[in-house]
Amino acid sequence: MAELTAALERYLTALECERRVSRHTLQAYRRDLERVLDYCLKLGLERWQDLSEGAVRQYVSQRRQAGLAASSLRRELSALRGLLDYLLKMREIEDNPVRRVKPPKASRRLPETLSVEELGVLLDVTPASAWEARDLAMWELLYSSGLRLSELVALDFDDLDADKTWVRVRAGKGGKDRVLPVGRPAQKAIVVWLKARAALAPLGERALFINCRGGRLSGRGVQLRLAQWGRKMGLDRRLHPHLMRHSFASHLLEASGDLRAVQELLGHADIATTQVYTHLDFQYLAKVYDQAHPRARRRGSEKRGKV
């Protein structure tokens, strides 16, 4: 067990220090790999070198029988493949059997988005307090620049340029920096918030978005505020920060058709990740077609006329 655990810890340290993965991602890797480690211990294995292709396939079978979703199992296999690739690179093992095990196909769910009208309900608001000014600036920035929640709360005051026309995301997912444009409504909302922030933030506080105690606002705090904001505005659906990012990507792709640009703005390493929004766009086009095309309408009318 000691050798299995020591190798796992070395890999997690490498992920944190060399690849600079986020704390959330690191916790997910640890959770998945400790589950595999427990499986290895039950088999009586003492080294990762002893993990065979057959044992990996048996693990996949057991997890599927336990009702694990295909997407979750793909994630676990990816974590294990990464660990064994690392050990192979370090010459601690001679083979990676996970490379020969095909992960189950996961059905790709299309991301939810908000309509332009719903976003208008959310964002066309005059804030009544300093904290509402902060919240509106966050919602505008999420939709304007397609930020992840972790990127939003990590923003510092000096990550904005002097004119508030762009924002720098430092060490986003995968440890990469990127510079993003900020739309005019978001610029105006940020300026209003910064005036209020000047009287609320303690001297030396770097966080762009602070909480009522003067410290950096947490991701959980943002989630709760957005859900509360949506209820206050009368939207009958669950709101979460990633919904703003999905809406940003879908609306931008729908208007521009430039998948590569959207990929860069979202910070996706693989364009295949961005391509999910092309399917979403097709769904929108299909809906328009069904509503507008004469033959599509006639076909629907004929069906409704049958008794």
Given 63, 134, 148, 246, which residue is catalytic? 148
- To the query of whether residue 148 is one of the catalytic residues in this protein, the response is yes
Q: How far apart are CA 130 and CA 197, in angstroms?
A: 8
Task: Report the amino acid identity of residue 302.
Answer: E
The answer to whether the CB of 64 falls within 8 A of the CB of 28 is no
Of the chain, the end-to-end C-alpha distance in Å amounts to: 70
Determine whether 242 is an active site residue.
yes
Query: How many other C-beta atoms lie within 10 A of the C-beta of residue 182?
Result: 20
Does 91 qualify as catalytic in the annotation? no
- Non-local (6+) Cβ contacts of 98 within 8 A are 56, 77, 80, 81, 84
Determine whether 173 is an active site residue.
Answer: yes
| Choice among 173, 188, 216, 240 that is catalytic | 173
Three-class secondary structure of residue 11 per DSSP: helix
181: part of which helix (H) or strand (E)? strand 178-181
Please pick, among 63, 225, 245, 251, the residue that the annotation labels catalytic: 245
Helix (H) or strand (E) run with residue 178 in it: strand 178-181
Nearest in space to 80 (alpha carbons), one of 44, 105, 55: 55
**Residue tagged active-site, from 57, 168, 240, 242:** 242
- Per the annotation, the verdict on 245 as an active-site residue is yes
The one-character DSSP state at 210 is B
CA distance 116 to 120: 6
| Rounded-to-integer distance, Cα 265 and Cα 180, Å | 7
Known catalytic residue at 295:
no
Query: How many Cα atoms sit within 13 Å of 159 on the Cβ side?
Result: 24
User: Which positions are annotated as active-site residues?
Assistant: 148, 173, 242, 245, 268, 277
